[in-house]
Each structure stands twice: as C-alpha cells, then as structure tokens.
Amino acid sequence: MKVTRLSSLLTVLVAGLALVLVPANAGAAPHDGGSQPTYSYANAIRETAWVDTGLKDPSGKAVRVAADIIRPSELSSGVPVIMDASPYYSCCGRGNESQVKEYDSAGNTTLFPLYYDNYFVPRGYAVVLVDLAGTNRSNGCVDIGGPSDVTSAKAVIDWLNGRATAYTTSTGSTTKKASWTSGNVGMIGKSYDGTIANGVAATGVAGLKTIVPISAISSWYDYYRANGADLTAGQPSGLASTVENSAAQSGCGSVQSATDAGSPTNGNYTAWWNQRNYYAQAANVHASVFIAHGVEDTNVKPINFGQWWDALAAHGVERKIWLSQTSHVDPFDYRRAAWVDTLHQWFDHYLMGVDNGVQNGPQLSVERTPDNWVDAASYPETSTATSLNLSATTTNGLGKLGSTAPTAGAVESFTDTPSQSETNWETNPDSASSARVVFSSGTLASPVTVSGTSTITVTASSSASSGQVSAVLVDLGPETVRNFDGQEEGITTLTTRTCFGSGNSIDTGCFLDTKADTTNVNAEVIARGWADLGHYASLNSKATLTPGKSYTMTFKLAPTDHQLAAGHRLALIVGGTDNGYITAGSAKPKITLDLTKTSIQVPLVGSLP
C-alpha cells in the first residue's frame, strides 16, 4: 500500500525537530575518492528555468517546459546535473510515498520528490526535475513517448549545454543562462521517467553522459502489445489523459486522436509504434547505461530491458544491470544502502570523472533469493542456447521437455479458457487439464541457471479464424520467493525512516524503510511470452486464420537470470489467453500444437537431464 503525502508529512511533524537537520552522509556507506557532502543544502539555490523546446502546441503556441533546479550556492561553474524528467510531478507522485512537487507562494519549489536532491546536492551536484510537456507546469501535449515527450527532456540538456533558450517565466521574454553547469548530465527515473531517459539517449544528444533507467520501457509497443496480442495495460490515450494538466486535456484533442489512430487494438505494429521504439535506435546511444529491473515486473514487462540490453551490447555501450525478484519496484526500496552507494559511484565516475573503477566491476548483480544477491562478470552469464524438444507421453496434456525428439505426427491440444491464468496452469503441474499442456524436464541433479532470453517456435492450428498462444517457463519445486504479485509487489513498507542526505522541515530526506515480502511456492514462473497467431507472417498486419490449418510463429519470452535448485524441474506450459496479462479474443478456440515443428531455445548455464 502506497503511503500518501499527507500521512508522510504528519509522521515527519510528529518526529519533531530532530529531522530538520540530517547528517549528509546518513544511510549509505561512504566510499573513498569520490564527492563528499561539503556543500550546504540549506543554502542551495532553488530556481526554475522555462525551456523552449522548439515545439508548438495545436494552437501554435511555443512549448516551454518547467525545469525545477536545486544546486549548491557555493559553486558558480562546473556543476554536473542529475535529471529526472517525468509526467508524474503533480498527478501521481514519485517514489514509494507518492511525493509530488510542492511550491511556495512565489512559485519556488520547496519539495523535490525523492532523495536525489538531499543526497547529491551536498556532494556538488545539481538536481533538475523536468515537467514533461502538457504536465504539471509545462504547456504543450503528452504524446506517450513520442517527439513531444522526448524533446521535453532533450531540450533541457541542450539548454544546459548552451544550445537552447530558457526564460525566467513561463511566458516572459527574459532569458536565463545555465552558466553554472559543466554540461554533463545523467538522467535517472523509474517507469515513465526511465523510459524518457531511454528515449533521450536514443537521440544521441551531446552532454548526456549516462542514464539510469529503472523498470523502464524500451519500446512502447511492447508495453501495450505482445507479438500481436493485446496486453492488459489499457490504451496509450488513457495514460495521456491521466497525466495531462487541465490545459492539455482541453487543448490536445488532435494529439489524442493521432494516438488512438496510431495504436490500434488489433495488435498491428504501426509507424506510431516504430517512432517509440528506442532499442531500434541504439546505434545513436553514446551515454553509459545502468539498468535496474524486476524479473517479475508485471507492469513494464522484462522484455523491455532485455531487448534494450541486447541492442546496447551490439553497439558496445558501457552498461551495468541489477535484476531483482520484485515486480515494479525501485531498488531504493529493496536494496537501499547498496543502491545509493553504487549510484553515487556511478554518477561520480560518469559526471565528475572520478576514477573509482565502477565501470570495471561485475556487470550483473542478481537477487537469487530474497535479499540474497550475487554478482556475475557479464549478463547474460556464459550460457548455451539449448534447443529443447517437446515430446508427448501416454497422458494427453502432459509431455516431456528435453533432448528427446517427438514421434512423427505427435500433437497436443488445449482449449483457450480466458478465465484461467498462468497461476491456474502451474497448479498441479503433473495433472492434465484441457486448458493447457505441460512439458517438464527430469529432476535436476545439480543447479541450472537460465540466463538471457528464451525463444519459442510454435506450429499450431486453431479451430477458429483467430487464436492466441501463451508460453511460460516454470521452475517446479519448493522455494521462498518475493511476493511479487502481492499488494506492494515484493516489499512491505515499514513505519520507521532512514535519512539519505540533508533536509529541512518540508523536504526531510528521510524515507520509510521497507523489507522483503516473501511467500512460499511450489512453482514459479520465470519467463513469459504471448502471441496472436494471426500475426504469424508479420506484426504489421493481422491475418484471418483458416480453421484447422497450421501456422508457424517464433517469438521471445521474457529475459531472466534464474537459478533452478537441485531437485527441481524446468517446465514449459503452453496455453491460450493468460488471464491478467493479455485480453481475450472473441473466440475460445481449440489450439493444436504440432510437436514435430514446435521447440524452444533456452539459454542454460548447465544442462537438463
């Protein structure tokens, strides 16, 4: 359960004056050779620059975005910038306590959400929080990851580097310079915010030295669709309506119409989606990238970090990744002290030029079991893409997963049952069900790790003119895991607070502590993938299926780094509509798999029996 800003403020007031002045190094272990908390938070300069984006709103008015700035007063030049560009600074809030920006009567920002200002300003950084066009105090329109959104942040980087114009007010003509900055910018943010960081990096803008996308989107198609299937995330225009300010809601109808036209619910990949595909533009990325994502993220599906990571790797981008067992949770709320210290070193290196070696450390840090983290030199780990066959047994609906080739003519069938989900499918995996088929390996004699992205090729026929297929990899065996499907997606928020940086009575720098929320399971889904068979030939158009005719389609499952314990089994479950993840079609067909032409490639460290 998220804590409201009001209850958070009451807790602070009750705590009294002890929270007003906080030691600047509280909460995280210091590291040698980096920036130190030597600058005054109390005397920091707070100001707003209204940056001209070069865009026009539908009425022809120039779009200016509000960039709220806090920076050390002692430094007049050479200050690096940590930037979070977001649509959520008034409508929804940031962080576990849903903080929004707060202002005094003169319009000066008194509360900068999250801990970035409290921790980093005393260490010689400026923190810049940007309202995306059409949100909070910025004019213009929201276009869901398109040119308006991305340019909102890119223009601020251009201004910080002397290439764009800003003003002292939203409509005035007095210009404002950024003579105090070095021009080095690092973007950070969770979800939509991290998505914008990805999008801006994909423009190749000069001055952006690093990005830290947390639970972020790399392709908006893969947030709303999956290989032609319609995910249960709603429609892009609905999200726009949620985050827009009142002026945008009344004046951006043409943008909303273009959004609806460009994102059809039939699952087709359009030019509108392609414009919002950042991983396809990875060749432009010059910034380093530090990714954090939950392998069980049910909001921004892990496919988004996987394809972004692979594209960055192909172009030699310096990168690092943290993978947690949580769903859509910030690492500040599941590994707080280690996260802040690592982030500190990361920004010191890429924005201040500190030679601390952070870029040479392990590329991967992964949570194997709750609060048990291990490092690996690279991600994916050194694995072998192992092709696994699906073979039938004497029991319909229960097959084998492994090296055994299926017999000629072998098939398995199931009936699309939209009321069931993967949770239903994995229950009693050794019992047959008409709603899914299970293919399981033998019992593991030693641990095996799935590290990377699995790919499945399905050859199937439908009894109707349409059909959907879901494929999930499952670890079968008893385990204690984070309760990613729980109310707080793998964490529990406590009533105590820890302070990270300096603060005052309004912006304390003290945040509610958390702990792992765990649950005991006998089966755990470790990778998911969905597809609409009507898109077997192309994502650009949906075909009408001929009932009884087989079609072949290849698609990816979510990336992961998951270790199966000795005594467990690996299973592949194939079903129809995965309730809660994809929306059901009008038909509820019988789907028949041709096992001789269906297989899955899994990146394994170790081997199956």
Cα–Cα distance for residue pair 588/99, rounded to 1 Å: 44
Active site residue 341: no
Structural element, H or E, at residue 344: helix 336-352
Identify whether the C-beta of residue 274 lies closer than 8 Å to the C-beta of residue 220: no
Query: Catalytic pick from 8, 138, 152, 191?
Result: 191
Strand pairing partners for 378? none
Q: Which residues contact 107 (CB under 8 A, 6 or more apart)?
A: 48
Structural element, H or E, at residue 11: helix 5-15
Active site residue 328: yes
Phi, psi dihedral angles at 6 (to 5 degrees): -65, -45
User: Nearest-CA neighbor of 136 among 175, 94, 176, 198?
Assistant: 94
Identify whether the C-beta of residue 501 lies closer than 8 Å to the C-beta of residue 332: no
Query: Catalytic pick from 57, 84, 230, 297?
Result: 297
Cα–Cα distance for residue pair 139/141, rounded to 1 Å: 7
Identify whether the C-beta of residue 291 lies closer than 8 Å to the C-beta of residue 198: no
Strands 455-462 and 590-594: antiparallel
Task: Give the Å distances, CA to CA, from 376 to 330, 368, 448, 530, 568.
Answer: 21, 12, 15, 29, 23
Cα–Cα distance for residue pair 524/541, rounded to 1 Å: 34
Compute CA 543 distance to the chain's CA centroid, rounded to the nearest angstrom: 31
Q: Residue 517: helix, strand or coil by DSSP?
A: coil
Q: Residue 112: helix, strand or coil by DSSP?
A: coil
Task: Give the Å distances, CA to CA, from 85 to 152, 484, 492, 505.
Answer: 8, 27, 27, 25
Q: Which residues contact 284 (CB under 8 A, 6 or more apart)?
A: 201, 202, 203, 204
Strands 288-294 and 208-214: parallel
Strand pairing partners for 472? 528, 573
Phi, psi dihedral angles at 223 (to 5 degrees): -90, -35
Query: Catalytic pick from 68, 288, 328, 348?
Result: 328
Q: What residue type is 77 in one-letter code?
A: S
Identify whether the C-beta of residue 603 lies closer than 8 Å to the C-beta of residue 383: yes
Cα–Cα distance for residue pair 19/13, rounded to 1 Å: 9
Cα–Cα distance for residue pair 449/378, rounded to 1 Å: 14
Q: Residue 527: helix, strand or coil by DSSP?
A: strand
Cα–Cα distance for residue pair 446/297, rounded to 1 Å: 28
User: Nearest-CA neighbor of 363 among 446, 288, 447?
Assistant: 288
Ramachandran sector of residue 434 (left: φ over 0; alpha: ψ -120 to 50; beta: rest): alpha
Active site residue 246: no
Identify whether the C-beta of residue 322 lies closer than 8 Å to the C-beta of residue 336: no
List residues with catalytic annotation: 191, 297, 328
